[in-house]
Amino acid sequence: MIYYSTIVGNYDCPSYKLYFANENDLIDHLQNVFNCTLNDLEFSNAWQEGRLFEVHKGSINKQFCDNHNKNRIDYDCDYEFDASDLE
């Protein structure tokens, strides 16, 4: 099993990791942060090069992730892909 972490969309501390129990939750989060489609995300250089997230071996509980990430996510942070990320 695997789970994911990212610092993208973190509200107050750029080094604080947000955790996601599965790929769907991670993708939903990143789509909300970047306000983009799944295709925009998955075909971006940032996604393909693994710069948006880290993969971890093991399992993590979705409830733990929800509690850990609570009040830490900022969807109004105006993140955008660099132009080179969407080439």
Output the pTM of the full model. Answer: 0.83
* pLDDT digits 0-9 by tens, 34-46: 888 899 898 998 8
The pLDDT score that the predictor gives to residue 83 is: 44
Residue type, 67: N
The pLDDT score that the predictor gives to residue 36 is: 87
The dihedral formed by the CA atoms of 64, 69, 71 and 76, expressed in degrees to the nearest 10 = -150
- Tell me the average pLDDT across 46-59: 92
Mean pLDDT of the chain: 85
Is 8's pLDDT higher than 80?
A: yes
Is 78's pLDDT higher than 70?
A: no
Higher pLDDT, 87 or 38: 38
